Amino acid sequence: MTLPAETLITFARQLLLAVKVPPAKADIVAESLLAANLRGVDSHGLQLLSFYIELIMMGNIDIGADGRVVSESGACLVYDAQCGIGQWISAHCCDQAIRLARAHGLGMVVARDSNHFGAAAYWGQRMSAAGMIGMVMCNASALVAPWQGKEPRFGTNPICMSLPGADTWLLDMATTTVALGKILNAQFHGRETIPAGWAMDSEGAPTTDTQAALSGLLMPLGGYKGSGLAMMAEILCAVLGGGAMSTELGGIRVQGQPMKTSQFFLAIDVSRFMPLEVFERRMRSLVAMVKSSKTAKGYNEVLVAGEPEWRAEEHRRRDGIPLSDGVWQNLVAAAEKLGVALPS
């Protein structure tokens, strides 16, 4: 099933409205999910919507909560998300970080008791669109064993950095080899196997079996280094924000328990260091230097972070967004249950 982005945004919004999500909140959730699909990051796109709807109907997500400022001191702010919609909370936190950065040069906001916010890149880009370097992290449901362990203690705990300027450099990476959504996406496509290095089974042994991976553990990125990065994100988000840590979190597949994730938003005002146009020019020079490297055997181009996604977006804006059979059937089932018409 391939449909235009605007058609899918409207469909997603209608599904959210059908479970009583207020219109402004439905808009930002739909837009953030479709932004991921447009960039080719399907693991964080409409694939998540049926999970969100289930969590809302269970009461795990409080659609009426707007969150509140717990404390503000200089450039630092703590935000209580009150188990509200993750995207709505993140929009507030990004805007607060931008406000603080304009006043102080830096603005750092940590939110606690939040929910899944989609792709971190969407929030990094919200800050970089305001002329800031935007950095985003969050903790997540424990699906990853610490290095040398076999019981989950960390989530995928992504790290994102977005820069001002058109298509300059955008890093958004899990601290696992891949996000859980990649394995779910393989399941939705009916693939029985996944690439080596993505996951371990429940005993901590590497596996390429999709079902064993889903009942097992995600593989930390680069072994002990991935564990270190995951714990760094856990500290900056949950420990510092006073939120749920490690095994205290719920998740998008956990029934009857709020997720209570913590999120970190840092805005850096580039103009405090140099004129924005100078920074952008220097970044273009750096990217050109990196891409000028001779290619390794088997490759015809050196890519930098963000390039594959920008190319995917150009293609999908023109040709539409493809959805796997599994994702489409989940959306169809949700629409039938909620009395929402399917896109024509």
Tell me: the pLDDT tens digits for 165-174?
A: 988 999 999 9
pLDDT of residue 179: 77
pLDDT at 255 over 80: no
Higher pLDDT, 167 or 66: 66
Q: What is the pLDDT of residue 189?
A: 81
End-to-end CA distance of the chain: 12
Residue 325 CB-density burial (10 A; 0-12 exposed, 13-18 middle, 19+ buried): exposed
Instruction: Map tokens 């409080």 to a residue.
Output: 62
| Residue 214 CA from chain centroid, whole number | 19
| Confidence band of 276 (pLDDT split at 50, 70, 90) | very high
| C-alpha–C-alpha distance, residues 114 and 249, integer Å | 10
- By DSSP bridging, strand 106-114 and strand 261-269 are antiparallel
Q: Provide the percentage of residues in the chain whose pLDDT is more than 70.
A: 100
The counts of H helices and E strands in the chain are 12, 12
Cβ neighbours of 194 (radius 10 Å): 21
- Flag whether pLDDT at 117 surpasses 90: yes
Place 133 in a pLDDT band, splitting at 50, 70 and 90: very high
Residue 47 pLDDT exceeds 90 = yes
Q: Which helix (H) or strand (E) holds 280?
A: helix 276-291
The predicted structure's pLDDT at residue 252? 83
Region 68-79: what's the mean pLDDT?
98
Confidence (pTM) = 0.92
Residue 118's pLDDT is what? 97
- Across the chain, mean pLDDT equals 95
- Residue 21: its pLDDT value, please? 98
Pairing of strands 132-138, 170-173: unpaired
Task: Report DSSP letters for 295-336, one per residue.
Answer: PPTT-S----TTHHHHHHHHHHHHH-EE--HHHHHHHHHHHH
- When pLDDT is cut at 50, 70 and 90, the band that residue 251 belongs to is confident
Q: What is the mean pLDDT of residues 81-86?
A: 98
pLDDT for the residue numbered 230: 96
Query: What pLDDT is attached to residue 188?
Result: 80
Across 240-263, average pLDDT: 91
- What pLDDT does 178 receive? 80
Question: What is the pLDDT, as a whole number, of residue 17?
Answer: 98
Position 217 scores a pLDDT of 85
- Quick one: pLDDT band at residue 283, thresholds 50, 70, 90? very high
Mean pLDDT of 122-127: 98
Would the pLDDT of 253 be above 80? no
* Residue that wins the pLDDT comparison between 238 and 200: 238
pLDDT at 186: 87
Structure tokens at 257: 């328990």
Average pLDDT over residues 69-94: 98
What is the DSSP pairing of strand 132-138 with strand 261-269?
antiparallel
Provide the pLDDT for residue 114: 98
Q: What is the pLDDT of residue 184?
A: 82
Place of tokens 């564990």: 227
Q: Residue 216 has what pLDDT?
A: 85
Q: Which residues pair with 267 in a beta bridge?
A: 107, 134
With 90 as the cut, is the pLDDT of residue 72 above it?
Answer: yes
